[in-house]
Amino acid sequence: MVLALSISERLTRARGDLRMGVPVVLCGPGGAALIAAVETLDAARLAVLRGFGTPVLAITARRAETLKARAYDGDLARIVPPLDADLGWLRSVADPADDLRTPMKGPLQSIRDGTADLARAALALAKSAHLLPAAVLVPVEQALSLAGAHGLTLLSLDEIAPALNAMPPMDRVVSARVPLMAASAGRVHVFRPDDGGEEHYAIEIGRPDRSQPVLARVHSACFTGDVLGSLKCDCGPQLHAALAQMGEEGAGVLLYLNQEGRGIGLANKLRAYSLQDQGFDTVEANHRLGFEDDERDFRIGAEILRKMGFSAVRLMTNNPRKLAMMESCGVHVTERVPLRVGQTAENRAYLATKVAKSGHLP
């Protein structure tokens, strides 16, 4: 009997710790560090962290570019905070909300010596926890005893490096008949990753023939568009149009993946919306926050399709990345089915940006 946590379970625990503002201990060949997410860190814990040593602030190269900071480590920058830097200063560097009001954060001093492996892992953890990608690191000694004394999660780089990029196996939890407006013969399947992460759903219309390419849509959750009917995107209309077409044809599968805001989470998506109100387009807003254009993992969709017995699809999408990912994951795309609905005066610029900067097909 195994009671010890697996590495994927410990990663999930670490994400939860960071979301609560609790530090995590990371160790690697170059040493160890206490890490904390800037977004959830409070002043009291920051003071305790300072008691262990001088903190370093890690931000992504995207955020560093906005702040005109040197990213000597390529994909990230390690910033030396001023001696009098408080929590407000750290958050002003991490969060672009007030960039236009107070554009001068520095000059920021970047570290160029030593390894950035711990900082890189810290940022990956913050991203996967749907927090702003900014982390405080404080080098420490005797990581194991420190973690044990304070009840902190301890992670080693050699363990988490493969797990951070791996997709956890999906288990089908339950399925049930759900009559829909688009089709009375609807069935909803719930899939859960074995690391305890967010569940994903498959809406099956009719009884698709597993030996034939199925009409499929990989749809990322959009609370504002799907639920509230936001006019800033075309997600809601795409969701309903895809289900309607599947209902008309009598068969299809819509995968509803919990990857809100192109994988950055609802809070960060709303931060991006606020930046768009300041005049930045959707890609620029993501970059100012420290994210890439698209942080989603489309491998999840391919895995669910395979679990359901499908090996070929007619994919409803305007995004070439979805086509390429399906093929690379062993799900053959026999046809791209365009999905052009939902353009409004409010989202016209957003849709144009997706074509011009994100490679979407017009």
Active site residues: 294, 296
Report the C-alpha gap between 165 and 7 in whole angstroms. 13
Report the C-alpha gap between 163 and 11 in whole angstroms. 8
| Other Cβ atoms closer than 10 A to 193 | 18
The percent of the chain in helix, strand and coil, each rounded to the nearest 5, is 40, 20, 40
E strand intervals along 142-264: 154-156, 170-177, 186-193, 200-205, 214-220, 252-257
Tokens matching residue 334: 């026999």
Helix, strand or coil for residue 189? strand
Report the C-alpha gap between 204 and 216 in whole angstroms. 9
| Other Cβ atoms closer than 10 A to 116 | 23
Report the C-alpha gap between 243 and 239 in whole angstroms. 6
Helix, strand or coil for residue 22? coil
What are the start-end ranges of the H helices in 54-194? 61-67, 87-94, 117-128, 143-150, 157-165
Distances (CA, A) of 44 to 19, 21, 49, 152, 186: 16, 11, 9, 17, 52
| Other Cβ atoms closer than 10 A to 361 | 13
Closest to 289 in 3D by CA, of 97, 58, 82, 161? 97
Report the C-alpha gap between 299 and 64 in whole angstroms. 29
**Residue 63 — φ and ψ, nearest 5°?**
-70, -40
